[in-house]
Each structure stands twice: as structure tokens, then as C-alpha cells.
């Protein structure tokens, strides 16, 4: 049947993909259950659809075998008064289909096969099953193993046994297959006609209450043969074997997919919906990003960048003293503390608690897991990395700072020029100092008044030179500082923006990686369950 969602093969393919998806998020057991169904459906489909299999099921002593014998008009499966009678399933099949049914019956583990030449029921193999309620618990196990492989079921009850708790449990499990389920109320001969009607109506009411909307109930007496013709006709008119088999398999597949969907919190009525509402996810992401930025400390980073630029500027264009101090700071470690942005970034761990990033992420994960059934919550949370979130977050931040934190501290052509000027000024300064030393010290006892020095206006030349060079050096230093500060601020702004962007991207992309994997798996499962 090429119904909605493509041919069975394709739909089964999606179901298998869903099984893998479930396993990838820790739901191996649920996946394995679904895989069993997928295999069973594929296997049954492989046997071909000329004949469908209908089983007579029910409690011990209600007359399953008698009903089959009555349908067949001969003893197919011996009916006895000692309970339970039928130990292994017996098949009653059309003789001309016997051969092609071989593999199928073998799969159903039916050893005992009786053929018939009748033309009426020529596309159905009828199985007489063991009971489901006797002290022989292995009978029940046989039925439980077999029932899922059966295409259609006729459930037999009798006036004494039509309300047992155990039968109700089976009926409820057969609700999805209600279209291929019919009921036989046997031993009608034990009741008056009026009572038969009362019991049949009560049975119908109970079936409806069990979730079977329009139960088909045949009142028969296998020993007297009444009602058997009606049952036979109903079986003959049940429709094409192919359609019966196809709808059965599709029902199984859909039920398995829906069940798998429920284990990941997918509701058939609601369709696919992410575990974490987009607005919640956005809010938690924002909180995590804010936390990560606090850890990375962009302000501190800017200071470091400015410090590094200033350091380089001093080396390149500082005064003699400035260069000396700059060089010295590299040795004392002061530069490392104040002017090493890359190291500062790398050491983000020492600047705050990871909780600022972690707590909102974990809150989001737990909120998301709240949408899962309690049975799968723990496993999915583990699969989604709730427990390893700490390491994951560290990785995200590490990667972000590693990518953005690499920076070349620039040089400016202006600095060497200033440096050269500083050298000149420094030389002038030295010269002026030397001059004055010569005048005052080396002159040796010569009175100041007699020392003649060229005058620049009223000021003696050495003094003028000294003053001017100090002032010019300071001016150059100020210009250098101004320029380096400007470059540093620009660079810091650039680096800061880059780190911030990298953190944002990293958190958005990776911090919810586990959740994204779970959502991806849920989408695959939703597709298998036809939940768009």
C-alpha cells in the first residue's frame, strides 16, 4: 500500500533511522524495541500477500478449537473437556496456497497444518492458538510471541468467560488493530435467547469501554453449528488479503513510531515541537554569553592591549629613560601582568566562577528535559552532556579566545621618528649637561662670574639647551603616548569586538550542542512518526 508517506519500504527506512537516532541519545532500549517491530514488519511483508493469517484466540475452554472445527466442518484441532487442550497452534489453510504459505507458517512456528479444498475461505490461513489464561503459562508465552505476527484476530469468549481481567488487557493491546479484530461469543446454546442478547450487548458495551469503537460480535454455538455460517461469510467478505496485511503492517509501524516518539516527548496530537521553546533558549543563551564575557573580562583585556601597545611604543620611540624602564619591565614580570593580552585571555579561568556560564546552560537542559517522559529523562540528560557541561563550556571559551586572541601588536612609522628625535634631544641634553659640568666642575675653582658662556638672550646657552631638550623630550613623550594610546584604544576595541563575537558565536553554536543533537534525533523520530 503506497499510502501517505511513500511505500512501506521508505517508511520502514525512516523508522530504522529513528531507531539509530534514539540510540544516539541514550535510548537504546526503546530503539531496540522499535527495531524488533521494524524487522517483524519487513519480514512479514517479504512473505507476500496472497493469504492473510487470522488467529482464534481466547481463554482456555471457551471453544477456540470447536469454532475452527465448526468453520471447517471437520475436526482440524481436537476439542476436549480437559483443560487446557491446545498446546501448540494448529493451522487450517487452503490446499492450493499450502506451498507458498510454507515459509510464513514456518516463521509462525506452526507445525501442525491441515489443508482444505474449500473455495470460500481461500485467502486466509486460520490458526487455532493455545489459551492465554491457564496454569500452563507457556501457552500464554506462545500466544504473546505469536500474536504480533498475526494479521487478523478473532477473539473467542463464552458466557462464563467474557469479563476476565486478563482478556481485557489483551483487548486493550489490540485496540490499534480493531479493524481486523472480531469477537465470537460461543456456547450460545447454554443460554436462553433472551439471555444471549443480554450477554452479547454487555460484551459489546465492555469492548467499547475497552476502546474498540464498533466491535463485531458473532454469537455462535460451535456444538450446534448456529451462527457459524455468518462468521464464515464475514471472514470471506473481510476484504483482500493484501489490504488486510498492508493495513496491519502499517498499523504496527505507525504504533512503533508513535511509541518511540512518546519516549522523546513527541505528542502525536501536537506535532513536532522543540523541547526548549526558542524564546527560553534565547534567554538562556544570552545569560550564558553575558557570563562568558564576564569571565573573559573585556575591560581587562582592553587595558592589556593598551599596555602592550604602550610598551612597544616606548621601546621604539621612548626617551632613553623610557626605554630603560620598558626593557626593565619585561624582566620584572610587570609587562606580563599588565601588557600581555594573549596570556591574559588564556588565563580566563582564574577570573571567576564557571557557574556564570554553566548555570543558565544547565537550567536550559533541565527545562528541556522536563518535556521528556520521566523514564527517559535521565538517559537523555546524560547523553546531552549535562554532566560534562563544565568541560564543554571550558572548551567553547578556550576555542573562542584562542581564535580571537591572537594579535599582532602593531608598530608605527612615527615611533622610530620620535625615537630618532628623542636620541637627538637626548644627545643635546647630554651635551648641555656635559657643558655645564665642564663649566662648573671641570673649570676648577674658576668663579662663575668670570666664566663666559654664549648667551641666548639673557639665558646662558647650556641652561637654555638643557631646558629646551627636557621640554622637547617631554613633548615627544607626550606625543608618543597620545599616539600609542590612540592606536592602543583602536586595537583594543577591535580585539574586544572580535573576542566578544567569537564568544557569542561559540556559545550559540556549541554550548547547546548536546541539546541540538537531541533535537536532531527528535526530528528524525518525528519524521518516522509522520509528525512533520
d(CA 494, CA 500): 10
Q: Which one of residues 381, 476, 491, 518 is an interface residue with another protein (CB under 8 A)? A: 381
Binding string, 248-287, against another protein, x = CB under 8 A?
A: ----------------------------------------
Q: Which one of residues 47, 92, 170, 344 is an interface residue with another protein (CB under 8 A)? A: 344
Is 494 an interacting residue with respect to another protein (CB under 8 A)? no
Considering the complex, what minimum distance in angstroms separates the CB of residue 60 from another protein?
A: 6
Is 78 an interacting residue with respect to another protein (CB under 8 A)? no
Q: Prior bond to 388 cis, omega within 30?
A: no
Considering the complex, what minimum distance in angstroms separates the CB of residue 54 from another protein?
A: 23
Is 369 an interacting residue with respect to another protein (CB under 8 A)? yes
Stretch that binds another protein, among 173-181, 323-331, 386-394, 481-489 (CB under 8 A): 386-394
Scanning residues 314 to 333, which ones bind another protein (CB under 8 A)? Answer: 333
Burial of residue 138 (CB within 10 Å: 0-12, 13-18, 19+) is exposed
d(CA 84, CA 41): 31
Considering the complex, what minimum distance in angstroms separates the CB of residue 305 from another protein?
A: 15
HSE, side-chain direction, 13 A CA sphere, residue 269:
0
Is 343 an interacting residue with respect to another protein (CB under 8 A)? yes
Is 122 an interacting residue with respect to another protein (CB under 8 A)? no
Stretch that binds another protein, among 277-285, 376-384, 467-475, 480-488 (CB under 8 A): 376-384
Q: Between 120 and 195, whose beta carbon lies closer to another protein?
A: 195
Scanning residues 34 to 73, which ones bind another protein (CB under 8 A)? Answer: 59-62
Considering the complex, what minimum distance in angstroms separates the CB of residue 495 from another protein?
A: 16
Long-range contacts of 386-393 (CB under 8 A, 24+ apart): 386/362, 386/514, 389/358, 389/361, 389/362, 389/365, 389/514, 390/354, 390/358, 392/510, 392/511, 392/513, 392/514, 393/288, 393/292, 393/354, 393/357, 393/358, 393/361, 393/511
Residues in binding contact with another protein, number by CB under 8 A? 71
Considering the complex, what minimum distance in angstroms separates the CB of residue 243 from another protein?
A: 33
Scanning residues 402 to 461, which ones bind another protein (CB under 8 A)? Answer: none
Q: Which one of residues 103, 145, 234, 387 is an interface residue with another protein (CB under 8 A)? A: 387
Is 350 an interacting residue with respect to another protein (CB under 8 A)? yes
Stretch that binds another protein, among 91-99, 154-162, 400-408, 449-457 (CB under 8 A): 154-162
In our burial notation (b when 16+ CB lie closer than 10 A, e otherwise), range 175-192 reads eebbbbbbbbbbbbeebe
Is 295 an interacting residue with respect to another protein (CB under 8 A)? yes
* Contact predicate 296/397, CB 8 Å: yes
d(CA 306, CA 283): 33
Q: How far apart are the first and last CA of the chain?
A: 21
Stretch that binds another protein, among 65-73, 108-116, 335-343, 457-465 (CB under 8 A): 335-343
Scanning residues 168 to 207, which ones bind another protein (CB under 8 A)? Answer: 168, 190-191, 195, 198-199, 202, 206
Q: Which one of residues 6, 10, 32, 83 is an interface residue with another protein (CB under 8 A)? A: 83
For the chain, what is the radius of gyration of the CA atoms? 45
DSSP-H helix ranges across 339-413:
341-346, 355-369, 374-383, 389-405
d(CA 235, CA 246): 17
Q: Between 150 and 292, whose beta carbon lies closer to another protein?
A: 292
Coil, strand or helix at 121: coil
Is 138 an interacting residue with respect to another protein (CB under 8 A)? no
HSE, side-chain direction, 13 A CA sphere, residue 131:
19
Is 8 an interacting residue with respect to another protein (CB under 8 A)? no
Q: Which one of residues 54, 101, 254, 386 is an interface residue with another protein (CB under 8 A)? A: 386
Report how far apart, in Å, the C-alpha atoms of 77 and of each of 113, 114, 155 are. Answer: 10, 9, 17
Q: Which one of residues 159, 215, 477, 506 is an interface residue with another protein (CB under 8 A)? A: 159
Is 224 an interacting residue with respect to another protein (CB under 8 A)? no
Report how far apart, in Å, the C-alpha atoms of 371 and of each of 22, 236, 273, 504 are. Answer: 16, 47, 10, 27
Burial of residue 214 (CB within 10 Å: 0-12, 13-18, 19+) is exposed
Amino acid at each position: 500500500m503506497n499510502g501517505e508517506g511513500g511505500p512501506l519500504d521508505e517508511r520502514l527506512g525512516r523508522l530504522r533511522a529513528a531507531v539509530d537516532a534514539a540510540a544516539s541519545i541514550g535510548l537504546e532500549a526503546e530503539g531496540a524495541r522499535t527495531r524488533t517491530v521494524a524487522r517483524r514488519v519487513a519480514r512479514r511483508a517479504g512473505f507476500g500477500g496472497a493469504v492473510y493469517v487470522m488467529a482464534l484466540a481466547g481463554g482456555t475452554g471457551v471453544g477456540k478449537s470447536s469454532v475452527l472445527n465448526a468453520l471447517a466442518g471437520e475436526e482440524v484441532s481436537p476439542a476436549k473437556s480437559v483443560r487446557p487442550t491446545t498446546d501448540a497452534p494448529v493451522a487450517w489453510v487452503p490446499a492450493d496456497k499450502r506451498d507458498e504459505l510454507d515459509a510464513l507458517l514456518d516463521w509462525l512456528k506452526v507445525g501442525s497444518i491441515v489443508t482444505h479444498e474449500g473455495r470460500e475461505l481461500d485467502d486466509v490461513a486460520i490458526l487455532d492458538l493455545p489459551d492465554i489464561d491457564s496454569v500452563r503459562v507457556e501457552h500464554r508465552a506462545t500466544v504473546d510471541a505469536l500474536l504480533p505476527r498475526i494479521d487478523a484476530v478473532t477473539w473467542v469468549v463464552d458466557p462464563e468467560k467474557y469479563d476476565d481481567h486478563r482478556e481485557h488487557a489483551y483487548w486493550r493491546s489490540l485496540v490499534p488493530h480493531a479493524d481486523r479484530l472480531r469477537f465470537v461469543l460461543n456456547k450460545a446454546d447454554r443460554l436462553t435467547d433472551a439471555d444471549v442478547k443480554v450477554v452479547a450487548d454487555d460484551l459489546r458495551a465492555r469492548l467499547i469501554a475497552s476502546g474498540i469503537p464498533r466491535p463485531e460480535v458473532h454469537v455462535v454455538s460451535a456444538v450446534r453449528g448456529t451462527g457459524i455460517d455468518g462468521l464464515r461469510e464475514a471472514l470471506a467478505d473481510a476484504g483482500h488479503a493484501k489490504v488486510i496485511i498492508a493495513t496491519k503492517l502499517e498499523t504496527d509501524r505507525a504504533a512503533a513510531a508513535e511509541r518511540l516518539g512518546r519516549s522523546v516527548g513527541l505528542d502525536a496530537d501536537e506535532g513536532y515541537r522543540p523541547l526548549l521553546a526558542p524564546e527560553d533558549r534565547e534567554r538562556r543563551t544570552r545569560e550564558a554569553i553575558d557570563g562568558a564575557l564576564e569571565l573573559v573580562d573585556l575591560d581587562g583585556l582592553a587595558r592589556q592591549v593598551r599596555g602592550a601597545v604602550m610598551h612597544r611604543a616606548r621601546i621604539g620611540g621612548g626617551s632613553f629613560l623610557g626605554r630603560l624602564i620598558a626593557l626593565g619591565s619585561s624582566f620584572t614580570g610587570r609587562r606580563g601582568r599588565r601588557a600581555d593580552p594573549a596570556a591574559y585571555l588564556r588565563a580566563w579561568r582564574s577570573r571567576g566562577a564557571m557557574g556564570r556560564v554553566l548555570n543558565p546552560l544547565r537550567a536550559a537542559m533541565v527545562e528541556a528535559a522536563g518535556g521528556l517522559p520521566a523514564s527517559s529523562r535521565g538517559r537523555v540528560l546524560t547523553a546531552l552532556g549535562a554532566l560534562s557541561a563544565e568541560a564543554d563550556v571550558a572548551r567553547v571559551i578556550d576555542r573562542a579566545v584562542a581564535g580571537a586572541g591572537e594579535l599582532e601588536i602593531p608598530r608605527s612609522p612615527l615611533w622610530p621618528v620620535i625615537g630618532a628625535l628623542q636620541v637627538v634631544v637626548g644627545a643635546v641634553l647630554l651635551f648641555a649637561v656635559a657643558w655645564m659640568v665642564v663649566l662648573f666642575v671641570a673649570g676648577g675653582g674658576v668663579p662663575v662670574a668670570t666664566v663666559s658662556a654664549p648667551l641666548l638672550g639673557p639665558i646662558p646657552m647650556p641652561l637654555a639647551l638643557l631646558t629646551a631638550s627636557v621640554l622637547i623630550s617631554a613633548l615627544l613623550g607626550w606625543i608618543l603616548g597620545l599616539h600609542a594610546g590612540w592606536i592602543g584604544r583602536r586595537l583594543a576595541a577591535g580585539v574586544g569586538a572580535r573576542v566578544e563575537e567569537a564568544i557569542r558565536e561559540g556559545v550559540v553554536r556549541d554550548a547547546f550542542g548536546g541539546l541540538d543533537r537531541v533535537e536532531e534525533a527528535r526530528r528524525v523520530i518525528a519524521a518516522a512518526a509522520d509528525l512533520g
